[in-house]
Chains A and B, each alone.
Chain A
Amino acid sequence: MHRRRAALAVAAAAAMATVVAACSSSGSSAPKAGGTGSGSGGTATMWLVTTGPSPADDAEKALVSSFEQSHPGSTINLTLVENQSYKQKLQLAMGAGNPPTIFWTWGGGILQQYIKAGYVEPLDQSTGSPFLPSSLGPVTYQGKLYGIPVQGTQPVYFFYNKQIFNQYHLKFPATWNELLSTISTLKSHGVTPISLAEGDQWPGLMYLEYLTDRIGGPQVAKDLEANKPGAWSNPAVIQALTDIQQLVKAGAFNQGYQSLKFSGGGSDALVYSGKAAMQLMGDWDISSVMGSNKGFVTSGNLGMAPFPTVPGGTGNPADLAGNTASYVAISSRATPAQKKVAKEFLKELASQSYAKAQVSAGEVPVTSGASGLFSGQDLATYDNTIYSDVQKAPSFQYSWDQALTPAPSAALLTNLAQVFEQTMTPQAFASAMNKVAASGT
């Protein structure tokens, strides 16, 4: 009887252990050569991320088939992987020594872990030369290039409802103080000033990134990425967090911003329905609003403006923050033949024809000399601004949650959410983050 009782209890509890162990069971084998086991000479495998069928997918597929035609004997097996599960899928494949030849990456901390473990093939510096220099930071490690942009750049802007601003005779604020007075004007008219989807946690991070840069310049974020001791107590970070809480106290954000999610379209809806005046978001917001309310965009009601400057700040107002680009890299575990095919293919990503295909798919490519490609496109006005801003930006700060390694990144998002909820002070945030960074791996 006793044994059966124990067994019952063990059975009840074992489910959780299975989760972790299932992830681990494949990992102990050392990485082996041979990619996904397609041993034949000229066949490479490639994983790209998709967020559902999109024109960008079609551009990628078209590039693969044109590459296969112009390179007889070379084949690329393209797999489109769903966005949410991609990081885990790649991590498991890497750990099991079974990664694709060419893999999608967001660069930054996770790519660095792979590079340090010797899983990523360094590329010729010349492969990167057709691209805007500011776009290659996230895939450059210790002076070496490891990745090439495969999809466009996504800087962050304020997107605002022009009807509301016209109605109350407001122009979009250019400085922090103007922003605060705009907020109080909008509030006095019963309009929620800013729509914030902090339920997803990353939307709040964009405020911290921009404020830190405007106040202290790009070096502050570089210190954070480099894991310098005490970097999170930098006065610029503390000031940025204090400013964020000032916005919260001023009632700048929509009710329930703590649980609102961007993915549900709720934060967009607040803006185009006129309940809220603006939203700080990556440039994907244009297509996101288009998807739910096309007329709002095509009739020119969606305004786009840079993040305001902060008085006394040392950052350049032309600095950008956001996702510099999305990239592909080559696995060092692939066979020499596979690597050869892959490197040839990566050159195609810099081609003018692929840049053109990306533009038609609504992306803003980061190849230099793409500025002429936008005219005649649906979103040419937005795209032209974005491209020239990226071209001119003295610094393009890469999203911190991608730039940092996974553990500090996760702690950053949750702690920042608490700053937005006023349950954590800037000082407590800084000391918590310093601790995570110090124990960091």
Chain B
Amino acid sequence: MTRMITAEVRDDLVTTPRRPGSRDKSRLPDLVGVGPPLALFCLFMLIPMVVALVLSFTTWNGLGNPRWAGGANWSRFFSDPVARTSVTVTLKVVVLSYVVQTPISLALGLFTAGRQRYRAVYAAIFVLPLLMSTAGIALLWGSLLDPNFGAMTALSKAWHMSFLNQNWLGDPNLTLYVIIAIIAWQFIPFHTLLYAVGRRQIPAVLYEAALIDGATPWQMFRRVTLPQLRYTIVTSGILMIVGGLTYFDIIYIMTNGGPGYTTRVLSLDMYYVAVQQNEYGYASVLAVILGAIGIAVAMGLVRFSGFASMRSQQAGAT
């Protein structure tokens, strides 16, 4: 069965050699097809980025015309202690989010892709946070962690567990990790879904073959599941990392970047510099840097992982 279908698909993929005369004709529809998305891409992606780059060399408070400032904003970035803190905090959020979310999502994904009893019930519970809006999540956790009237404090009193009675959102050494945990709570369900879908697409024959070869469950995971999930891991990783770089809403609602600057990520810093301090030139520097890091990381991941070539992972299996 599988073999036949694959053969059909492969037929489609074979490019028919073009005759010299048909070249010009075939290009026109291409342009017509590509035009609208290209125009939208320029309008909403390229042009704003170029404008931000230009603005980063100006001083402008939103009134009148921007004044040329040369590299002043850029040299300010490199001597700005707040910006340095923001970069560090952002990197922490990205790295820790990835490290925390990936194994949990993978484990939950593999579990929900299985055929155990009540699997659907568990899956529904796991996915629950995905149904909540970010603002809702932030307010919910905010009131749970409230040090005076929150559920954690009540629990710590009722069960005499004093470690629950922390200054969750006000302790400079703790709050960032609380925030990272809440971000994980919010996004693990999504990545769990990705992994569950990825796992279900692995053909059963691979496991049957491994079983016949006498593979242990760990070996099956290590030699079959993980390699087969390669692109899922890359996709989920890019989403986590780029998402982590630009993460904003929960931090904005719950801590406003505080206490002090301890949860002030780069995107929040950019927002405050632009909207609260009306320094659009310097805010553009932050935006360009954030954009550049995002592009570099995404391109690096794509290249490093071989994602772009989209080689089949199932050669020989079908």
- Asked if A and B bind, the verdict is yes
Which residues of A pack against B, CB within 8 Å?
Answer: 1-2, 4-25, 27-28, 30-31, 88, 91-92, 94-95, 113-114, 117, 119, 198-199, 201, 254-260, 264, 266, 269-270, 275, 406-407, 409-410, 414, 417-418, 421, 423-424, 432, 439, 441
Note all chain B residues with C-beta closer than 8 A to A421: 170, 172, 259-260
What 7 A-B pairs have minimum CB-CB distances, sorted nearest first?
A256-B147, A258-B170, A13-B294, A259-B169, A21-B48, A259-B170, A9-B298
Note all chain B residues with C-beta closer than 8 A to A258: 167, 169-172, 258-259
The one of A88, A91, A417, A441 in contact with B260, judged by C-beta atoms closer than 8 angstroms, is A417
* CA of A17 to CA of B261, assembled, Å: 22
| Cβ–Cβ contact A15 & B146, under 8 A | no
* CA of A30 to CA of B167, assembled, Å: 50
Note all chain A residues with C-beta closer than 8 A to B275: 23, 88
* CA of A12 to CA of B242, assembled, Å: 7
Contact A259-B255, Cβ < 8 Å, known A5-B303, A25-B51, A406-B277: yes
| Cβ–Cβ contact A255 & B167, under 8 A | yes
Note all chain A residues with C-beta closer than 8 A to B308: 1-2, 4-5
| Cβ–Cβ contact A199 & B258, under 8 A | yes
The one of B258, B270, B291 in contact with A417, judged by C-beta atoms closer than 8 angstroms, is B258
**Is the CB of B225 closer than 8 A to any CB of chain A?**
no
* CA of A270 to CA of B276, assembled, Å: 30
20 contacts between A and B (CB under 8 A): A6-B299, A7-B41, A9-B294, A12-B298, A14-B291, A16-B287, A17-B48, A17-B287, A17-B290, A20-B270, A21-B48, A91-B62, A94-B63, A198-B170, A199-B255, A259-B147, A406-B277, A414-B257, A421-B172, A423-B172
* CA of A358 to CA of B275, assembled, Å: 32
Note all chain A residues with C-beta closer than 8 A to B295: 6, 9-10, 12-13
| Cβ–Cβ contact A119 & B63, under 8 A | yes
Sorting the interface of chain B by its residue count into under 10, 10 to 19, 20 to 34 or 35 or more gives 35 or more
Note all chain B residues with C-beta closer than 8 A to A423: 172, 259-260
| Cβ–Cβ contact A11 & B148, under 8 A | no
* CA of A255 to CA of B162, assembled, Å: 14
B275 nearest CB neighbor, chain A only? A88
* CA of A365 to CA of B65, assembled, Å: 39
**Is the CB of B192 closer than 8 A to any CB of chain A?**
no
The A-contacting residues of B in range 147-182, CB under 8 angstroms, are 147-149, 167-172, 175
| Cβ–Cβ contact A407 & B277, under 8 A | yes
Note all chain A residues with C-beta closer than 8 A to B267: 16
Note all chain A residues with C-beta closer than 8 A to B309: 1
Contact A406-B276, Cβ < 8 Å, known A5-B299, A9-B295, A10-B295: yes
Contact A266-B148, Cβ < 8 Å, known A17-B291, A18-B44, A418-B260: yes
Which residues of B pack against A, CB within 8 Å?
Answer: 41, 44-49, 51-52, 55, 59-66, 76, 81, 142, 146-149, 167-172, 175, 238, 242, 246, 255-261, 267, 270-272, 274-280, 283-284, 287-288, 290-295, 298-299, 302-303, 308-309
The one of B64, B170, B293 in contact with A199, judged by C-beta atoms closer than 8 angstroms, is B170
Closest chain A CB from B308 CB (angstroms): 5
Closest chain A CB from B311 CB (angstroms): 12
Contact A259-B299, Cβ < 8 Å, known A19-B274, A20-B284, A28-B66: no
The one of B242, B274, B294 in contact with A23, judged by C-beta atoms closer than 8 angstroms, is B274
* CA of A197 to CA of B254, assembled, Å: 14
Known A-B contacts: A20-B284, A255-B167, A407-B278. Give 9 more (CB < 8 A): A4-B308, A11-B45, A16-B290, A21-B51, A28-B66, A256-B146, A409-B277, A418-B259, A432-B81
| Cβ–Cβ contact B169 & A10, under 8 A | no
| Cβ–Cβ contact A24 & B170, under 8 A | no
Note all chain B residues with C-beta closer than 8 A to A1: 308-309
The one of A12, A17, A114 in contact with B288, judged by C-beta atoms closer than 8 angstroms, is A17
| Cβ–Cβ contact A256 & B167, under 8 A | yes
* CA of A414 to CA of B299, assembled, Å: 36
| Cβ–Cβ contact A14 & B49, under 8 A | yes
| Cβ–Cβ contact B149 & A266, under 8 A | yes
B264 nearest CB neighbor, chain A only? A414
* CA of A63 to CA of B41, assembled, Å: 50
Note all chain A residues with C-beta closer than 8 A to B278: 91, 113, 406-407
Note all chain B residues with C-beta closer than 8 A to A117: 63-64
Note all chain A residues with C-beta closer than 8 A to B45: 10-11, 14, 18
The one of A8, A95, A259 in contact with B259, judged by C-beta atoms closer than 8 angstroms, is A259
Note all chain B residues with C-beta closer than 8 A to A432: 81
Note all chain A residues with C-beta closer than 8 A to B242: 12-13
| Cβ–Cβ contact B149 & A269, under 8 A | yes
Closest chain B CB from A197 CB (angstroms): 11
| Cβ–Cβ contact A23 & B256, under 8 A | no
Note all chain A residues with C-beta closer than 8 A to B66: 24, 27-28
Note all chain B residues with C-beta closer than 8 A to A201: 256, 258
| Cβ–Cβ contact B298 & A8, under 8 A | yes
Closest chain A CB from B69 CB (angstroms): 11
Note all chain B residues with C-beta closer than 8 A to A2: 308
| Cβ–Cβ contact B291 & A13, under 8 A | yes
Contact A255-B148, Cβ < 8 Å, known A9-B295, A25-B51, A414-B260: yes
A418 nearest CB neighbor, chain B only? B260
| Cβ–Cβ contact A27 & B294, under 8 A | no
| Cβ–Cβ contact B238 & A12, under 8 A | yes
Note all chain B residues with C-beta closer than 8 A to A406: 61, 276-279
| Cβ–Cβ contact A20 & B55, under 8 A | yes
Contact A20-B294, Cβ < 8 Å, known A9-B299, A258-B171, A259-B255: no
| Cβ–Cβ contact B258 & A259, under 8 A | yes
| Cβ–Cβ contact B290 & A13, under 8 A | yes
| Cβ–Cβ contact B148 & A113, under 8 A | no
Most-contacted residue by chain B among A25, A91, A256 (CB, 10 A): A256
| Cβ–Cβ contact A8 & B283, under 8 A | no
B166 nearest CB neighbor, chain A only? A256
